[in-house]
Amino acid sequence: MPQMGKDFLTGVWSVMGPEVLLVIAGFALLTLELFLNKEQKKIIPWLGLLSLLLAGGLVISNMVKLHTAAQLEHLSNYLYIMDDYGNIFKLIFLLGSALTLVMSIDYLRHVHMPKGEYTYLLLFATVGAMVMASALDLITIFVGLELLSIASYVLVGMRRNYAKSAEGAMKYLVIGAVGTALTLYGMSFIYGLTGTTNIAMAMEPISALWADFKFLFLLSLVMMLAGFGIKISMVPFHMWTPDTYEGAPTPITAFLSAVSKAAGFAMLLRVFLFLYSNYIAEWYLILVVLAILTMVIGNVAALSQKNVKRLMAYSSIAQAGYLLVPIAVLGKPQGSVTLLQSLTELVFYLGVYVLMTMGAFAVIAYVTRDAASESIESFRGLYQRSPYLAVAMSVFLLSMAGMPITAGFFGKFIIILGAIHTQSFWLAGIMFAASVISFYYYFGLIRLIFSKETDGVEPRLQTPMSLSVVIGIALLATVGLGVAPNLFLDVLSVLKWFGPGPA
């Protein structure tokens, strides 16, 4: 019996090592906070950052181990697995969370919030995202989704003396609860029809029952798509996004825009590939329509925004539309786009999106705090006050718009190319047109940044070291992956996306 217990713990660590480490770190920080005075609590975000870096090292170690393994490592009959699909998403989550914490170090000096609670909730939210990427069971996926969501609700409302923070948290909570209900309802159809909650084991029963229960399977798909759509800010389930992004602490806005969205895509793609991929030709038009609506409505709504965080919220909605395209085109029988190509397109753009979003919000956090305003007017004349921040922000905005020699351009280019390869010329054209619309509001902000008009003599901005690190990493990656995208593409090309094979 002791040997069986030891083997079980070894198996859990082998498959879930990074998640276990972050959970232990989260509870350790929760306990440590009780024994530290106000001044000593400044160390807690740094300890949280250290745990994220160690978890990242474990994920990389697992990726190396996977390439020498003869079989796929898993827990409890494929309840939870370790494959490169989950590993690459986990690295994106950990990178985004680490940059969020680094960004938060300066933010927490100037905004009164409990540092310990802030840090360990961010760690638990990251664990939830990681579970969503590696779980093969609907119940486990749901647990990960709720862990991410509940921690996010609290983080959004953590500015307790700020009315917009409470409003944003409440809207996120209410709409998130609706998404939870829809997701569970959709999952219940799968369990009721197949008798299992394991998405890999459900594939065979679905194939046998599809013809007789097609309507119920499609209903389950639509229900889950609606629930997942709330997490990724997909139109028409995006209503919470602008108010929540505006009210949340700026580093948490960055986390929601990058890490939470990436987790939603990891979950959506994993579930739909296993449960519905054999019948994608019958439902892919749903994704196509939603992708188009999300791209167009997100960009058009951003045109009239005067609050920079609301502008970035609508920009984030539009980015979700672009990311839906590689999934949607898998349903086209024409062309030669494979699952591997679509995964590469999605993960590449998602990775660069996380980096440029983190960089942009690091600049936003500092500029809006210095100006005591979140209006886009706070960026007027930024170049005269800080050329570094002005150039960095401009690069991030140009990358989001899809200008050449940026990572965002190459990411959009391969997505559009994938759509063209499936002869979805009209979808590629709409994506291009939506990107052109985005130029208007991105360039409007850039025009303000380089404007010579100011309200008077403005002091030069001294960027805090922690923000300079985030901005520097994001800037280097945004330009570097635009000039040499193969640095990332070569890594993606050697991944064993779904493991070395069944046990």
The closest of 213, 302, 249 to 107, measured between CA atoms, is 249
pLDDT for res 154? 92
pLDDT for res 398? 93
DSSP string, 360-422: HHHHHHHHHHHHT--BGGGGTTHHHH-HHHHHHHHHHHHHHHT-TTSHHHHHHHHHHHHHHHT
| pLDDT tens digits along 173-183 | 999 999 999 99
* Helix residue ranges per DSSP H, 256-307: 261-276, 280-302
| pLDDT tens digits along 314-329 | 999 999 999 999 888 8
pLDDT for res 349? 93
- Residue 347 CA: distances (Å) to CA of 57, 214, 340, 469: 20, 31, 11, 24
**Does the pLDDT at position 57 exceed 80?**
yes
Mean pLDDT over each residue of the chain, to the nearest integer: 87
Distance between CA 352 and CA 314 in Å, rounded? 18
Percent of the chain predicted with pLDDT > 90: 45
Distance between CA 311 and CA 395 in Å, rounded? 17
Distance between CA 416 and CA 425 in Å, rounded? 9
- The residues with which 81 forms a beta bridge, in sequence order, are 74
| pLDDT tens digits along 460-481 | 778 888 889 999 999 999 999 9
**Does the pLDDT at position 249 exceed 80?**
yes
Average pLDDT over residues 215-225: 91
* Structure tokens that stand for 328 in this block: 């949607």
Please indicate whether residue 397 or residue 41 has the higher confidence score (pLDDT). 397
| pLDDT tens digits along 76-129 | 677 888 888 889 999 999 999 999 999 998 888 888 888 888 899 999 999 999
pLDDT for res 343? 87
Query: What burial class does residue 293 get, using C-beta atoms within 10 Å of its C-beta: 0-12 exposed, 13-18 middle, 19+ buried?
Result: middle
Please indicate whether residue 210 or residue 459 has the higher confidence score (pLDDT). 210
Q: What is the DSSP letter of 272?
A: H
**Does the pLDDT at position 456 exceed 70?**
no
Query: What burial class does residue 133 get, using C-beta atoms within 10 Å of its C-beta: 0-12 exposed, 13-18 middle, 19+ buried?
Result: buried
Please provide the distance, in angstroms rounded to a whole number, between the alpha carbons at the two ends of the chain. Answer: 24
Q: Out of 63-72, 101-110, 235-244, 302-311, which region has the weakest mean confidence (pLDDT)? A: 63-72
pLDDT for res 412? 92
The secondary structure element, H or E, covering residue 89 is: helix 84-110
* Structure tokens that stand for 386 in this block: 């800080």
- The residues with which 73 forms a beta bridge, in sequence order, are 82
**Does the pLDDT at position 503 exceed 50?**
no
Average pLDDT over residues 139-166: 89
CA quadruple 387, 393, 396, 398: dihedral sign: negative
